[in-house]
Structure formats: structure tokens, C-alpha cells
């Protein structure tokens, strides 16, 4: 079936792309190569320039400077309808007065392409909706409408398919299901997908390559595992999953590692996993890499040790428990522990230590912004704890 839809996807190249709106720079400078046939996700917070990037690629917005190449061909000056691109927007924008099949066939018919109906049925079969082809969009669920919108884009065989938060309107369960379906459709048709989302889990589960965007720039780009295990900046370390970050001066160096002094505690990171080896450095470790101890453990040089600290919050979520610790000097530390036994391991208020393998740490190229750890504008984990505390004492008083 794949052959019936597209010969192949095309690669997309952005060269020094820059977009300035009157009074606001949306894209600072973008350089990017998306290989043909790949599933590429652009991930970033609201307002970072994701939609603007897609609109530039689709030709709906004019670049201030820079070039856009699709399949090696410069399309910077090409009209939108002459670009081998289709876009699926968050609002599916189906024609309400037309049947599903006519919605899908619309573009083919307008371009005078033969067998529009046959091709449209094939596209609908791909999204498993051919049996509903006679219905109107209003007679479909949100997820089904989404799949029609997808079929309508795929049927045109765009070398490049742009998806702007296409699953944003779906509820969580349907969203997860559509993520898997979209991914398998992409495998089947072999087109190049450029998928925009602010959902990090969605980006990681679907894409071969994820680019994390922040304030009009790509901060880091790579395979999901690579971005997760070795974030290069504080923004990536915190936007993609959670991280424990510690900042201090480099106090010692060996051939293979650096030691950072965090208010008297030595944290060692392999040089190969650290962007910088001198000066003040922010190092980090993911919460699931930490081991919680209720007594000061004996650790050798292959492990880092923090503590003693105190558990300030325990939240049980079934599969795992999240502990938040206050460790003097190091600040707030988050630990995810798998629930191998019954219930949480350690109670709120307990004295604890944490240790982790030196090989699991990473060193960032920038510094984490100084964290006002227990102030009003502190991190979300601590705010949650403070809110819970306040609520509990209110309940006790009542």
C-alpha cells in the first residue's frame, strides 16, 4: 500500500532562517536538516516559535532572511500551493457540508487528478475509516475527524507533511492511541513528517529526532534517548523530563572526570558527559537514577553521595513514588523510586541520603538560573508541597 501514496519523502533544510514580525523576533536563527522519510518533532513551550516555523516552511509566512530547501530545491520564493507540502492543523478544518470521502478527495479533484475517489478510499483505509466514508464530519468523534484530516493531507502525497499540534484537541487516552497510529502510518507511507508539539512525552514516543526549541532557537537536537540522557542546557534538562541540578566551582580534575564543589559536597561527573570542565559548572542527574538510603551508606569513588537531608514530600503514584528532599547546601532533590515492595519506602520527615552512579550524571554548557529554593517563585515541586502543607494545616484548624 505504501507505494500507492508517495514515492518518498523529501528532506527539509533550513538555512539561517530568521523571522521578525513588527516589533517581535519569532525565529532568531534556525539551521536544520530533516532527512527524507524521518519523523521529526519540534518541541518547545508556548510562544517559542513552533507554528511560525511551520508557516514559514508551508509558505504562509515570508522569511525575513534565510533559505528553505525541500528535496534540495530552494522554495524560499515559491508560492505555498506550489510547495510539496501539506499541513494538518490543530483544528481539523473539515468541510461540514461534505461527506468524509468528498473532504478527502477535494484537493485531488481540484487539481484534476484522475481516480480521486479510488485514491481517497485508499487513504481512508490507511486511517481505518473507509467504512465511514459516507458520513458528514459532524457524525464523527474528535479522533475520527482527526484521522480524516490526516487522510486528506496524505492523499495529496506531500513529500513533507507538517503537523501542528494535531492531537491537541483529543483527550489523553485517544491522544496516546493516535500517537501510535500516526507513527505507524508514517512508517507505512514513508513521508517526511514534521510534527510540532509542546508535549514532551508525545515528542519522545513518536519522533526519531526531537529538536527542543526555546525563544526562537533550537537549543538541542537529537534522538529522544540522547536528549534525555545527556541534556546540554538547563532548559533542556528541565523541559524534557525532570532533573536535579547543582551548581558550583570545579574543584578537581582527573584524566576522565571533573569534581564540582556544591557547598562542601563533591559531585563527580565524567568529562565525556560534561560540556565544560573549568570554572563554575552546573551538573545534573535524573530523579530515577537516585538511590534513597535511610542510613549513611559507604560509597566508593564510582558513586556520588548527598546527605543527610530530610524528606519533605512523598507522593505515591502506583508504579513509582516521588520523594522530594531538602538537602542542606544542595537544595531540593527529587527522587523517583519504583514501588518494588508495598507502599513508599520512606516516610515524610525521615532523615535520608541519596547516591547515584557517577556515570549517570551530566554537566551542562550553561548555568542553571540561581534557584530561590524556598521563596514564592520557587520550582513547581516545592510550590506543590507548600500548597499541600497549607491546605493540610487549614483542614486541621477547621
Least Cβ distance, residue 239 to ligand ATP (angstroms)? 13
Closest CA to 68 of 4, 2, 16: 16
For residue 302, what is its C-alpha cell? Answer: 564510582
Distances (CA, A) of 372 to 17, 61, 325, 329, 380: 36, 40, 16, 13, 12
Least Cβ distance, residue 42 to ligand ATP (angstroms)? 8
Residues that bind Mg ion (CB under 5 A): 51
Least Cβ distance, residue 53 to ligand ATP (angstroms)? 7
Pick the binder of ligand ATP from 5, 40, 52, 333 (CB under 6 A). 52
Pick the closer one to Mg ion by CB: 59 or 309.
Answer: 59
Tell me the residue number closest to Mg ion, measured at CB. Answer: 51
Pick the closer one to ligand ATP by CB: 21 or 316.
Answer: 21
Pick the binder of ligand ATP from 51, 86, 146, 233 (CB under 6 A). 51
Distances (CA, A) of 121 to 98, 115, 329: 15, 10, 64
Largest CA distance in the chain: 76
Q: Where are the alpha helices (DSSP H) in the chain?
A: 2-5, 50-58, 100-110, 116-126, 142-154, 172-189, 200-206, 224-229, 234-239, 380-397
Task: Report how many residues bind ligand ATP under the rule CB under 6 A.
Answer: 12
**With binding defined as CB under 6 A, does residue 195 bind ligand ATP?**
no
Instruction: State the Cα–Cα distance between residues 95 and 47, nearest whole angstrom.
Output: 29
* Helix, strand, coil percentages, rounded to 5, for the chain: 30, 35, 35
Pick the closer one to ligand ATP by CB: 22 or 264.
Answer: 22
48 binds, among Mg ion, ligand ATP, none (CB under 5 to 8 A by kind): ligand ATP
Helices 100-110 + 142-154 axis angle, to 10: 20
Question: Which H helix or E strand runs over 12?
Answer: strand 12-21
Least Cβ distance, residue 254 to ligand ATP (angstroms)? 42
Pick the closer one to Mg ion by CB: 26 or 346.
Answer: 26
- 274: DSSP letter: B
For residue 338, what is its C-alpha cell? Answer: 519504583
- Secondary structure of residue 289 in the 3-state scheme: helix
Least Cβ distance, residue 34 to ligand ATP (angstroms)? 17
Point out which span in 39-47, 228-236, 351-359, 374-382 binds ligand ATP (CB under 6 A): 39-47
Pick the closer one to ligand ATP by CB: 52 or 145.
Answer: 52
**With binding defined as CB under 6 A, does residue 394 bind ligand ATP?**
no
**With binding defined as CB under 6 A, does residue 87 bind ligand ATP?**
no
- 68: β partners: 14
Pick the closer one to ligand ATP by CB: 25 or 378.
Answer: 25
Q: Which of residues 2-21 bind ligand ATP (CB under 6 A)?
A: 21
Q: Which residues bind ligand ATP (CB under 6 A)?
A: 21, 24, 26, 44, 46-52, 198
Amino acid at each position: 500500500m505504501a507505494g500507492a501514496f508517495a514515492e518518498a519523502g523529501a528532506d527539509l533544510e533550513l538555512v539561517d532562517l530568521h523571522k521578525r514580525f513588527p516589533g517581535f523576533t519569532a525565529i532568531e536563527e534556525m539551521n536544520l536538516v530533516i532527512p527524507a522519510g524521518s519523523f521529526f518533532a519540534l518541541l518547545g513551550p508556548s510562544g517559542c516559535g513552533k507554528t511560525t516555523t511551520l508557516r514559514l516552511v508551508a509558505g504562509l509566512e515570508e522569511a525575513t532572511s534565510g533559505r528553505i530547501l525541500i528535496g534540495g530545491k530552494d522554495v524560499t520564493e515559491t508560492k505555498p500551493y506550489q510547495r510539496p507540502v501539506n499541513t494538518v492543523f490543530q483544528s481539523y478544518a473539515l468541510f461540514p457540508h461534505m461527506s468524509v470521502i468528498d473532504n478527502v478527495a477535494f484537493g485531488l479533484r481540484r487539481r484534476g487528478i484522475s481516480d480521486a475517489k479510488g485514491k481517497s478510499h485508499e487513504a481512508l483505509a490507511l486511517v481505518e475509516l473507509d467504512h465511514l466514508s459516507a458520513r458528514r464530519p459532524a457524525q464523527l468523534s474528535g479522533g475520527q475527524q482527526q484521522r480524516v484530516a490526516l487522510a486528506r493531507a496524505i492523499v495529496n502525497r506531500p513529500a513533507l507533511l507538517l503537523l501542528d499540534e494535531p492531537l491537541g484537541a483529543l483527550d489523553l487516552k485517544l491522544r496516546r492511541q493516535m500517537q501510535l497510529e500516526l507513527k505507524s502510518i508514517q512508517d507505512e507511507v514513508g513521508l517526511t513528517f514534521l510534527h510540532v508539539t509542546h508535549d514532551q512525552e508525545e515528542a519522545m514516543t513518536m519522533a526519531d529526532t526531537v529538536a527542543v526549541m526555546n525563544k526562537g532557537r533550537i537549543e538541542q537536537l537529537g534522538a529522544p534517548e540522547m536528549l534525555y540522557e545527556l541534556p546540554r542546557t538547563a532548559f533542556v534538562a528541565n523541559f524534557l523530563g525532570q532533573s536535579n541540578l547543582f551548581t558550583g566551582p570545579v574543584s578537581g580534575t582527573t584524566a576522565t572526570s571533573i569534581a564540582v564543589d556544591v557547598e562542601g559536597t563533591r559531585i563527580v561527573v565524567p568529562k565525556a558527559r560534561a560540556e565544560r570542565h573549568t570554572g563554575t559548572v552546573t551538573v545534573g542527574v535524573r530523579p530515577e537514577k537516585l538511590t534513597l538510603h535511610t542510613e549513611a551508606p559507604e560509597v566508593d569513588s564510582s558513586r556520588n553521595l548527598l546527605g543527610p537531608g530530610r524528606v519533605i514530600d512523598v507522593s505515591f503514584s502506583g508504579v513509582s513514588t516521588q520523594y522530594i528532599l531538602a538537602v542542606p547546601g544542595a537544595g531540593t532533590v527529587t527522587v523517583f523510586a519504583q514501588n518494588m515492595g508495598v507502599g513508599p519506602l520512606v516516610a515524610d520527615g525521615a532523615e535520608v541520603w541519596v547516591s547515584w552512579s557517577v556515570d549517570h550524571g551530566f554537566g551542562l554548557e550553561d548555568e542553571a538560573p540561581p534557584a530561590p529554593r524556598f521563596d514564592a517563585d520557587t520550582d513547581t515541586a516545592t510550590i506543590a508541597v507548600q500548597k499541600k502543607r497549607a491546605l493540610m494545616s487549614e483542614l486541621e484548624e477547621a
